[in-house]
């Protein structure tokens, strides 16, 4: 029977010396029985890179009587190459639990494994494509942010030239347009500087920080903007918020972005009703949460999916860098950024991040150990 | 200068609202600037406007929405769209919907003047 079963079979003595290989095994390896018998003989057919771990595992099984299993590259005579195989062995025990004999199988799983590799490769390619797509969308939004001030620069400079070329020249007007040209150029370079700050350094540099303080700073920065847009801001910052380990500037960019989006979303709401609520809270699982709730245009079901992919449907003046970037910042912190329509008018955007992001904890550990 | 045709600018970007009117006035037009489509519709200048310079991606009612609304009200105005999302497919779609021109930000003053001339259906009398 052992010669008819379409599997490579073998057996070994209790101390691990091979004492039997079936015909398929011999045929596969191209060796004869004598070459394969004995202690350590099977190492002849293993790929050198797999040798150590396989021998260690086998010796340990011989000591403990545990079932042996290993994925190894085994020499295949027919195409004089190593192929991936799954080796299994189980001990036959006597009534006292002593090993009488080992019985084992070898299954060639090379093709299956290669299919798996290919699958993984395809998945990687797909993930890359998705990153590139997101980058493409990001590029579109960057182009938008930069084109706005560029447009101002071009128009102002053109006007300036025409004012100077007029007879008589309008010097005062030309000065004013030149001033505006400079201001818009600053605006454009601010966009670039912020983007650079955002994307330089793949590692997340973090500090211990108070989310409430960071939020208050953002509010202080945007209060005049909010007042100009007649937005009434209410805050509910939790008293018991723990300190978090995070990148302060990046989180503030996210908060600012959410504030501006909320303010923009309420542009069409009657004066006196533009209410914005910012709330911080402890979240389950050692996390903190920040919520921005507006009473603006709200979210229609069909935009929910696209919301974070790109932001060219909403238009933020200045340094708004969009929800796609905000989400990647939050995800870099091991957190989640999401949006939901309110029961009443408007929408709520929120993020929840762990008090200490996992990866940063690792990085900190690595630094301490080095 | 024969007359000062009214050109209305609708753009939520402040630098556009500051810079374009100066240039347009220099071209010899009368100018009104609005930060939203809603503000323009609510103004007294809708029926007086000879040409609309309209941003595409406005917060609230979008540029194309405003154009449609004006057509619905039988108050269609020759429109030059401007957009910071330079995309040729957007341009051809807008032209197909009846826009006179669609300029990608940043655009030159000459390109703007050409578009205005086309929109007003006259050779410009205002070229300095």
Q: Bridge-partner residues for A341, per DSSP?
A: A347
Q: How far apart are CA A254 and CA A349, in angstroms?
A: 11
Quick: pLDDT tens for A273-323: 899 999 999 998 899 999 999 998 888 777 676 677 544 444 444 334 567
DSSP label at B51?
Answer: E
Contacts of A180 in chain B (CB under 8 A): 15, 18-19
Quick: pLDDT tens for A241-283: 999 999 887 788 788 888 888 988 898 888 778 999 999 999 9
Q: How far apart are CA B22 and CA A369, in angstroms?
A: 63
Contact (CB, 8 A) for B11 and B82? yes
| Dihedral angle sign, alpha carbons of residues B20, A138, A269, A297 | positive
Contact B19 A312 (CB under 8 A): no
Contacts of A176 in chain B (CB under 8 A): 22
Sheet containing A81-93: order of strands: A38-39, A17-21, A8-12, A99-108, A81-93, A68-76
- In three-state secondary structure terms, A54 is helix
A355 & A253 share domain: yes
Q: What is the pTM of this model?
A: 0.46
Q: Measured between CB atoms, does B65 come within 8 Å of chain A?
A: no
Q: Measured between CB atoms, does A180 come within 8 Å of chain B?
A: yes
Q: How far apart are the CA of A320 and the nearest CA of chain B, in angstroms?
A: 13
End position of a domain, from candidates A55, A87, A108: A108
Contact B106 A158 (CB under 8 A): no
Contact B19 A152 (CB under 8 A): yes
In a domain, A245, yes or no: yes
List the CATH number of the domain containing A228. 3.30.565.10
Which domain range does residue A344 map to? 207-363
Q: How far apart are CA A264 and CA A136, in angstroms?
A: 24
A285 & A359 share domain: yes
End position of a domain, from candidates A108, A134, A154: A108
Contact A268 B38 (CB under 8 A): yes
Domains located in chain B, CATH noted:
6-120 (3.40.50.2300)
Q: Bridge-partner residues for A87, per DSSP?
A: A70, A106
* Span of A62-76, A116-130, A291-305 with lowest mean pLDDT: A116-130
> What's the confidence (pLDDT) of residue A365?
38
**DSSP strands (E only) in A66-161:** 68-76, 81-93, 99-108
A194 & A223 share domain: no
In a domain, A126, yes or no: yes
ipTM associated with this complex: 0.81
Tokens standing for residue A158: 């053109």
Quick: pLDDT tens for B39-64: 999 999 999 999 999 999 888 899 99
- In three-state secondary structure terms, A310 is coil
The structural domain count of chain A equals 3
Quick: pLDDT tens for A24-38: 899 999 988 888 887
Q: Please spell the DSSP secondary structure of A234-281, one letter per residue.
A: EEEE-TTPPPEEE-HHHHHHHHHHHHHHHHHHTTTSPTT--EEEEEEE
Tokens standing for residue A266: 């309420």
């Amino acid at each position: 029977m052992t010669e008819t079963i379409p599997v490579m079979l073998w057996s070994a003595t209790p101390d691990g010396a091979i004492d039997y290989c079936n015909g398929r095994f011999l045929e596969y390896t191209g060796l004869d029985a004598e070459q394969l018998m004995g202690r350590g003989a099977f190492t002849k057919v293993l790929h050198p890179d797999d040798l150590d771990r396989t021998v260690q595992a086998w010796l340990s099984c011989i000591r403990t009587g545990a079932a042996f299993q290993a994925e190894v590259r085994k020499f295949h005579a027919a195409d004089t190459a190593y192929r991936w195989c799954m080796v299994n062995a189980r001990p036959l025990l006597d009534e006292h639990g002593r090993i009488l004999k080992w019985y084992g199988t070898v299954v060639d799983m090379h093709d299956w494994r290669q299919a798996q590799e290919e699958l993984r490769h395809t998945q990687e390619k797909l993930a890359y494509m998705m990153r590139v797509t997101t980058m493409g969308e990001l590029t579109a939004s960057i182009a938008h942010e930069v084109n706005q001030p560029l447009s101002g620069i071009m128009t102002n400079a053109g006007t300036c030239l025409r004012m100077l070329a007029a007879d008589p020249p309008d010097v005062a007007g030309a000065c004013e347009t030149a001033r505006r040209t400079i201001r818009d150029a600053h605006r454009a370079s601010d966009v670039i500087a912020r983007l650079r700050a955002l994307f330089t350094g793949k590692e997340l540099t973090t500090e211990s920080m108070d989310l409430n303080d960071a939020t208050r700073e953002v509010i202080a920065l945007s209060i005049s903007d909010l007042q100009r847009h007649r937005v009434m801001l209410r805050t509910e910052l939790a008293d018991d918020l723990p300190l978090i380990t995070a990148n302060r500037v990046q989180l503030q960019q996210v908060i600012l972005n959410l504030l501006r989006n909320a303010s923009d979303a309420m542009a069409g709401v009657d004066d006196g009703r533009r209410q914005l609520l910012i709330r911080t809270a402890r979240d389950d699982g050692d996390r903190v949460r920040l919520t921005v709730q507006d009473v603006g245009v709200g979210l229609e079901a069909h935009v929910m999916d696209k919301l974070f992919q790109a932001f060219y449907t909403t238009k933020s003046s200045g340094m708004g860098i969009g929800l796609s970037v905000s989400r990647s910042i939050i995800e870099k912190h091991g957190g989640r950024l999401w949006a939901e329509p309110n029961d009443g008018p408007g929408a709520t955007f929120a993020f929840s991040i762990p008090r200490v992001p996992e990866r940063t904890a690792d990085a900190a550990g690595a630094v301490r150990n080095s | 200068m024969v007359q000062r045709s009214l050109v209305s600018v609708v753009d939520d970007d402040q630098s556009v609202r500051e810079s374009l009117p100066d240039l347009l006035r220099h071209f010899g037009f009368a100018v009104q600037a609005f930060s939203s489509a809603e503000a323009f519709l609510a103004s007294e200048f809708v029926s007086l406007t000879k040409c609309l310079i309209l941003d595409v991606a406005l917060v609230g009612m979008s540029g194309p929405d405003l154009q449609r609304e004006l057509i619905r009200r039988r108050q269609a105005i020759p429109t030059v769209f401007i957009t910071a999302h330079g995309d040729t497919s957007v341009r051809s779609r807008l032209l197909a919907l009846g826009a006179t021109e669609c300029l990608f930000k940043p655009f030159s003053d000459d390109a703007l003047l050409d578009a205005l001339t086309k929109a007003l259906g006259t050779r410009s009398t205002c070229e300095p």
